[in-house]
C-alpha cells in the first residue's frame, strides 16, 4: 500500500476516483445489470488498497461528509416508515425485534470461537443486527421497487438500524463503566446520545413540516429544505457527540407522520444526493483494513452465513402469520443482507468518541465488510427481482405513484 503520497495528491485523487467510480457503475449496470453501488464499492476497495491511509487521512472533513450522505438516506428511509402499519400488523414489528435478537446472539456466540475479546464480540454482534439503509434504499430506488417485500424490507431495515444503534450505545456505555467506573462517560455513550438524538430529530420532524405548511413552496425547494435540515442535524449531532444517523431516521419518521409529501422525483435528493451517495459508497470502501482481510476470512464466512440465515429464517417462519407467502418471507430476509455502510460509519463514530475496542472490531470485521459491500447489493437486487416488485418500464417513469403509499 502507498502511504507516502504528496500532501496534494489525496485532494486531487478524490474527484478523479469519484468520476471513475461513476463511469464504472454506469457501464457495468448497462452491460450486466450490476447494482451501481457494488461498482462504487469496487472502485473504493481498489483505491483503498492502493492509497490507504493517505487517501482518507489526507483530506479533512471526509467523515462528516459521509455521515451527512448517510443521514440523507436515513431520512428517506424514515419517511417511508408507516408507524400505523405496525399497529395493524404487529408481526412485522415482532419479527424485526426477534430476528435482531437472534442475530445478536448467534454472532456473539460464533465470534467466541475465533478468540475475540468479549467487548469486541459484543460490538461485532451489535453491528451485525443492522441492515444497510444506503445499500437497500439505493437498490430499491434504482429498481423502482414497490410491493409487499420492498415495503417490509424498508420497515425491517429501520427496525434493525434502531436496535443496532441502541445495542452499540449500550456496549460503549458498558465498556466505559467497566474500564473506568465513570458513570458520566457511560451515560454519554448510551442513554444521553440515544434520547437526545431522537428528540432532536423528532423536533425537526415537527418544525419543518409546520414551516412548509405556513410557507408553501414547490417540490424541489421543499427537498432543499429537508436536505438543509438533515445537514443541520448532522452538524449539531457531531458537535454534541450524538448519533446523526439516529437523529436523521427519527426526523424522517416524524415528518412522514406529519403528512409531508415527497414525490418520486425527490428520491435520493436529486443530483446532489446522487453525488453524496456515490461518495458514501466509495468512502466506506476505502476504510477497509486490508492487512486484516486474509486473517479474518473464516470469521467473515461464518458470521455472514449466520446473519443471512437468521434474518431469512425468522422472516420465513412468520410469513404466513404476517400476511405474505413463504416465498416472499424468505426473499424479505435475503434482501436485508447488506450492512456495511451503516456499520462502518457507526463503528468509526464510536472510535472517534473514545471507544478503544472499535479499532480491533474494525480489523476483525475487515473481510466481512468486503463481502457485504460487494455482494449485499446483489442479493437485495436479485431478491426484489425474484419477488417481481421491480418497475423498470414506462409505468414507473418519474411521476408514477410513490411506493411509500402502497404499504
DSSP codes of every residue in 357-394:
HHHHHHHHTHHHHHHHHHHHHHHHHHHHHHTT----SG
Q: What does the CA dihedral 243, 248, 253, 259 come to, rounded to 10 degrees?
A: 150
- The model's pLDDT over 356-404, given as tens digits with 9 standing for 90+, comes to 899 999 999 999 999 999 999 999 999 999 999 987 643 333 333 333 3
- The model's pLDDT over 179-235, given as tens digits with 9 standing for 90+, comes to 776 666 566 556 777 888 999 999 999 998 888 877 766 666 778 888 999 999 999
CA distance 68 to 233: 9
Give this prediction's pTM. 0.90
- The model's pLDDT over 114-138, given as tens digits with 9 standing for 90+, comes to 999 999 999 999 999 999 999 999 9
Count the alpha carbons within 13 Å of 344 in the hemisphere toward its beta carbon.
31
Give the per-residue pLDDT at 24. 96
- The model's pLDDT over 149-184, given as tens digits with 9 standing for 90+, comes to 999 999 999 999 999 999 998 888 888 778 776 666
Between residues 249 and 257, which one has the greater pLDDT?
249
CATH topology classification for 15-391: Na+/H+ antiporter like fold (1.20.1530)
In the 8-state DSSP scheme, what is residue 59?
S
CA distance 184 to 169: 14
CA distance 380 to 333: 9
CA distance 123 to 90: 28
CA distance 377 to 383: 10
Q: Where are the alpha helices (DSSP H) in 181-218?
A: 183-189, 191-214
Domain borders along the chain are 15-391
Q: In whole angstroms, how large is the CA radius of gyration of the chain?
A: 20
Which conformational region is residue 174 in: left (phi greater than 0), alpha (psi within -120 to 50 degrees), or beta?
A: alpha
The yes-or-no verdict on residue 7 having pLDDT over 70 is no
CA distance 73 to 92: 22
Burial 193-219 (b: 16+ CB within 10 A, else e): bbebbbebbbebbeebbeebeeeeeee
CA distance 279 to 289: 19
- The model's pLDDT over 76-114, given as tens digits with 9 standing for 90+, comes to 999 889 888 898 899 999 999 999 999 999 999 999 999
Amino acid at each position: 500500500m502507498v502511504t507516502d503520497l504528496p500532501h496534494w495528491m489525496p485532494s486531487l485523487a478524490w474527484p478523479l476516483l469519484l468520476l471513475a467510480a461513476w463511469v464504472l457503475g454506469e457501464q457495468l449496470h448497462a452491460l450486466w445489470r450490476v447494482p451501481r453501488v457494488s461498482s462504487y464499492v469496487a472502485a473504493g476497495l481498489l483505491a483503498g488498497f492502493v492509497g490507504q491511509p493517505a487517501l482518507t487521512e489526507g483530506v479533512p472533513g471526509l467523515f462528516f461528509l459521509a455521515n451527512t450522505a448517510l443521514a440523507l438516506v436515513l431520512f428517506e428511509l424514515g419517511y417511508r416508515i408507516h408507524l400505523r402499519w405496525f399497529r395493524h400488523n404487529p408481526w412485522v414489528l415482532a419479527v424485526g425485534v426477534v430476528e435482531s435478537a437472534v442475530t445478536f446472539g448467534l454472532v456473539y456466540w460464533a465470534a467466541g470461537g475465533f478468540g475475540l475479546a468479549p467487548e469486541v464480540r459484543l460490538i461485532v454482534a451489535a453491528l451485525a443486527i443492522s441492515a444497510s439503509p444506503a445499500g437497500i434504499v439505493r437498490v430499491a430506488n434504482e429498481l423502482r421497487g414497490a410491493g409487499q417485500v420492498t415495503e417490509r424490507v424498508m420497515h425491517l431495515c429501520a427496525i434493525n438500524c434502531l436496535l443496532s444503534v441502541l445495542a452499540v450505545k449500550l456496549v460503549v456505555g458498558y465498556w466505559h463503566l467497566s474500564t473506568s467506573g465513570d458513570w458520566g462517560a457511560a451515560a454519554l455513550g448510551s442513554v444521553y446520545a440515544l434520547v437526545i438524538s431522537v428528540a432532536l430529530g423528532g423536533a425537526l420532524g415537527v418544525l419543518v413540516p409546520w414551516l412548509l405548511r405556513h410557507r408553501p413552496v414547490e417540490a424541489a425547494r421543499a427537498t432543499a429544505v429537508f436536505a438543509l435540515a438533515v445537514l443541520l442535524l448532522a452538524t449539531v449531532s457531531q458537535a454534541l457527540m450524538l448519533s446523526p444517523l439516529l437523529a436523521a431516521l427519527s426526523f424522517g419518521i416524524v415528518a412522514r407522520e406529519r403528512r409531508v409529501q415527497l414525490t418520486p422525483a425527490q428520491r435520493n435528493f436529486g443530483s446532489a444526493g446522487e453525488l453524496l451517495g456515490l461518495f458514501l459508497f466509495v468512502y466506506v470502501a476505502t476504510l477497509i483494513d486490508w492487512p486484516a482481510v486474509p486473517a479474518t476470512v473464516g470469521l467473515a464466512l461464518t458470521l455472514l452465513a449466520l446473519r443471512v440465515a437468521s434474518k431469512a429464517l425468522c422472516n420465513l417462519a412468520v410469513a404466513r402469520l404476517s400476511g405474505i407467502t413463504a416465498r416472499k418471507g424468505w426473499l424479505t430476509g435475503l434482501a436485508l443482507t447488506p450492512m456495511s455502510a451503516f456499520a462502518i460509519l457507526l463503528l468509526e463514530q464510536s472510535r472517534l468518541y473514545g471507544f478503544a475496542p472499535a479499532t480491533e472490531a474494525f480489523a476483525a470485521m475487515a473481510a466481512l465488510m468486503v463481502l457485504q459491500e460487494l455482494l449485499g447489493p446483489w442479493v437485495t437486487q436479485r431478491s426484489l427481482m425474484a419477488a417481481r416488485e421491480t418497475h423498470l418500464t414506462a409505468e414507473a417513469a418519474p411521476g408514477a405513484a410513490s411506493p411509500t403509499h402502497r404499504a
